[in-house]
Structures are given as structure tokens and as C-alpha cells.
């Protein structure tokens, strides 16, 4: 395996062994085919992979210890810690969260403690997962309800149409946040980083699930 790794990239400057690891600089496209996806591990984010820490001749116990150490230092969405069959399909949840990142890149934040009206991808994935389980719906039905909620929230600010999903009167929200929502077309996170079940539930019966997203 060491010979294979040496062909894929090069040791990082001063990349000597550290805690059993050797650091290599490897392009993600070359590293991806070697990655093994564990049942409770989220998919790697290509934008965050710049280095590979390789442990040669690792025992199963050493691999598990390293995995736990990484997860202790990096926040992992609850979506990846629950049993796979305890909620909606993870792939569907992740795909819906990713579709919002693609559609509304100016609202996506790397911080789990982002300010309104922004959202964090992993936090939203957990939010989607929790909503599906709490409301007993699949991801397609939830996606449709979220679109309807976004439309109703926008209408509350454009034509003073009452919206019971808002926690405050339209004129009590930050003008800067409202303007960003209006310009970008995303209103779901105006009240915070999490979309509440109470806001979504009334809309589930009003919409027919479809494949379009977000």
C-alpha cells in the first residue's frame, strides 16, 4: 500500500510519522477511489480535502480509535450517528440540503453558528432529518412543504399577507436580513438556523410532493 500511496502523491514537507500517521499531499480525484464509506461516516467534502493522513499496517483497534478521535474534534451531524433505518434515507436528506447550497450559495455558511438568514449545510441536513422523523413524512413531501413555506414567508413581506409561520410581525425583522432574503429568494431561515416543525406541519397537506428542489 505504501508504494501505491507514493505513486498517488508525495509526502508533505516534513511529513514524518505523527501518532502513527504519515502526511501526504494527494489530489482528491486520485484519493477518492480508495476511500471506504463507513455506515456512520458522512461523505468526504472534496473542498476540505487538501492532505491525507495515512496509517500503515493499522490494526482495527487503531483505526477505530483514530475515527473516534476525529469525530471528537469535528462536529458530526446527528444524521450520521443514528441508525440508518431510524429515519429517512441519508442520501435523500443530504441531497436536499446540498440542493439548497447550490441554489442559494450566498446563504450557505461554514459556521454552525451562522447568523440569520444564513444556514449551515450540516445543520440543515440534521434539521431535515429531524423534521421528517417528527412529522412522519418522507424527504420529497418535506421538500414540497419547505417550498410552500418559503413562498408564504416571501408573500408576508411583499404584500403584507399574514403568515402564521413567522415568529414576529414583518416590520420587526432586521431590514438588512429582510433585504438579503428578498434579493436572494430564500426566507426559510429568517427566524433562526432551524426550520420548526410547527411552521412546516400546516403546509404538508396543501402540497403534492414532487421531484423539483429546492
Span 24-55, pLDDT tens digits: 888 878 877 777 666 556 666 666 667 777 88
Burial 164-201 (b: 16+ CB within 10 A, else e): ebbeeebeebeeebbebbeeeebbbbbbebebeeebbe
- What local confidence, expressed as pLDDT, does residue 69 receive? 72
Spatial separation of the C-alpha atoms in residues 108 and 114, rounded to whole Å: 9
Global pTM reads 0.68
Could you tell me which residues come within 8 angstroms of residue 86 by beta carbon, excluding any fewer than 6 positions away?
133
Regions of the chain short of the pLDDT cut 50? 207-212
Half-sphere exposure of 11 (CA within 13 A, CB side): 11
To which residue does cell 441508525 refer?
83
Amino acid at each position: 500500500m505504501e508504494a501505491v500511496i507514493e505513486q498517488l502523491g508525495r509526502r508533505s514537507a516534513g511529513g514524518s510519522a505523527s501518532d502513527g500517521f504519515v502526511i501526504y499531499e494527494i489530489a482528491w480525484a486520485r484519493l477518492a477511489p480508495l476511500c471506504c464509506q463507513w455506515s456512520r461516516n458522512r461523505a468526504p467534502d472534496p473542498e476540505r480535502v487538501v492532505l491525507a493522513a495515512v496509517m500503515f499496517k493499522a490494526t482495527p483497534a487503531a483505526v477505530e480509535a483514530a475515527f473516534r478521535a476525529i469525530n471528537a474534534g469535528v462536529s458530526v451531524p446527528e444524521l450520521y450517528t443514528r441508525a440508518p433505518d431510524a429515519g429517512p434515507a441519508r442520501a435523500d436528506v443530504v441531497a436536499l440540503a446540498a440542493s439548497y447550497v447550490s441554489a442559494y450559495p450566498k446563504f450557505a455558511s461554514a459556521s454552525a453558528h451562522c447568523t440569520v438568514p444564513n444556514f449551515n449545510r450540516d445543520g440543515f441536513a440534521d434539521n431535515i432529518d429531524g423534521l421528517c422523523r417528527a412529522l412522519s413524512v418522507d424527504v420529497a413531501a418535506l421538500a414540497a412543504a419547505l417550498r410552500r413555506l418559503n413562498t408564504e414567508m416571501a408573500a408576508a413581506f411583499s404584500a403584507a399577507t399574514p403568515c402564521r409561520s413567522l415568529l414576529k410581525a414583518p416590520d420587526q425583522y432586521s431590514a438588512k436580513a429582510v433585504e438579503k432574503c428578498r434579493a436572494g429568494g430564500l426566507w426559510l431561515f429568517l427566524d433562526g438556523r432551524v426550520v420548526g416543525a410547527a411552521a412546516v406541519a400546516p403546509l404538508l397537506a396543501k402540497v403534492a410532493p414532487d421531484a423539483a428542489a429546492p
